Amino acid sequence: MPSTSLPDCAAAILSVFAARETVLTDTPLIQPAAPFLDMTGEALRRRIFMTESETGESLCLRPEFTIPVCRRHIAENAGTPMRYAYCGMVFRQAREDGADEFFQAGIEDLGTADVAAADARAIADAWEALGACLPGEPLAVTLGDQAIFEAVVRALGLPGGWQKRLIQAFGNHARLEALLETLARPQPVSGLDRRVAAFLADGDETGLVAHIDETMQATGYSTNASRSPEEIARRLKEKLALSVTSLDADALEALTSFLSLEIGLDAASSELAAFSAKFDLDIGAAIGAFEARIAALAAAGVDVAAITYRAAFGRPLDYYTGLVFEIAEAGERGALLAGGGRYDRLLTLLGASDHIPAVGFSLWLDRIERAGGKT
């Protein structure tokens, strides 16, 4: 059994957080499971410890802090901007490098309007906290940006369904490669009812909806259906569009060239500008926001040249929308010590009445303790 007392590095981390205008908060260990099942990535969903309440509600042991902190902020109707700090235990099954329960600490920055400054502050604060625990220890910082990837995908003019698939796969190398292979060699939809196929081929949506409705009524399926005939018809049209969509050679080269970009952050904006010019892609607004973050990092005293920008880099949580980053021990097998990113849609999905921009990061205290033991 791991110790339930705070690791030694917690004091140094909390001291850094206290100097960063944060409010120290905590959340219950038992959480409703639905938000985690709906809004986190598959890698986390399959590792959650599940249970049930007496009324049958699905519950879980807290697997991370971001969603609980956001839910508490909404429930308390707290004003923004607000910076929450936390330090406590989380629970995940089958963790590769340690126990199923371990300590996390971090900051969630909710409602700061200056996105570039908030992003830079998250990276700088994570770096500073690690520096306080591991003075002189070389660290490797990797940065990605889902907003840049989304801008590239949109500029390629793919159907909405394909854009959604690619964006959902961001950061998952194997899944992205499989999708690119499908785009390079599309496969026709098989097994369609002949009448359905005919309506789709003719573009007769009205006839397709009527046929689906008639079939549902005849089979009695309509009384228990979760989707209407209109929704089913729309999904069939989307499936057909996805099956016949292919990227031409230039567009496929553009996407694969983008995903291969890996360079120091100090040179990244010029590389992105050259990439967009070479393939004639309109991604200027996304590059502008990217450059603003770099400027904010430099203004915060962060050594921009020491950060690696990797275009294909993402993190395994579905709620990220822009910046993503990780900090690890330097070296090929260096342990991951911190990770975070921007999640501008999450609070609205959790029930906030107003849009609340947000960014945050987490530190893994057991890994930090082990890294400190090596020095």
CA 224 to chain centre: 34
Binding residues: 64-66, 92, 104, 108, 315, 319-320
Q: What is the mean pLDDT of the chain?
A: 88
Q: What is the dihedral of CA 162, 168, 352, 364, to 10 degrees?
A: -170
Q: Please tell us whether the domain made up of 9-151+273-374 is placed in CATH 3.90.1150.10.
A: no
pLDDT of residue 26: 94
User: For residues 188 and 70, which has the higher predicted lDDT (pLDDT)?
Assistant: 70
Give, rounded to a whole angstrom, the gap between the first and last alpha carbons of the chain.
Answer: 25
Q: What percent of the chain is predicted at pLDDT more than 90?
A: 64
In whole angstroms, what is the distance from residue 38 CA to residue 49 CA?
A: 15
Asked if the model's pLDDT at residue 241 lies above 90, the reply is no
Angle between helices 284-299 and 265-278 (to 10 degrees): 170
Cα dist from 78 to 84, 266, 343, whole Å: 11, 37, 18
pLDDT of residue 203: 72
- Sorted by where each begins, the domain ranges of the chain are 9-151+273-374, 194-244
Does the CA dihedral 127-133-136-137 come out positive or negative?
A: negative
DSSP code string of 178-197: HHHHHHHS-----S--HHHH
- For residues 363 and 90, the answer to whether their CB atoms sit within 8 Å is no
Binding residues for L-histidine: 64-66, 92, 104, 108, 315, 319-320
Does the CA dihedral 164-168-172-175 come out positive or negative?
A: negative
Residue holding tokens 């957080």?
17
pLDDT digits (tens, 9 = 90+) for 259-314: 999 999 999 999 999 999 999 999 999 999 999 999 999 999 999 999 999 999 99
Query: 238: which 2 tokens?
Result: 């989307």
Most confident among 55-59, 125-129, 198-202 (mean pLDDT): 125-129
pLDDT of residue 1: 39
Closest CA to 240 of 206, 215, 203: 203
In whole angstroms, what is the distance from residue 371 CA to residue 27 CA?
A: 28
Query: 29: which 2 tokens?
Result: 């260990």
**What is the helix (H) or strand (E) element at residue 313, kind and residue range?**
none
pLDDT digits (tens, 9 = 90+) for 95-150: 666 678 999 999 999 999 999 999 999 999 999 999 999 999 999 999 999 999 99
Asked if the model's pLDDT at residue 164 lies above 80, the reply is yes
Minimum mean pLDDT among 64-78, 86-100, 168-182, 224-238: which range?
A: 224-238
CB atoms closer than 10 angstroms to residue 125:
26
- For residues 99 and 56, the answer to whether their CB atoms sit within 8 Å is no
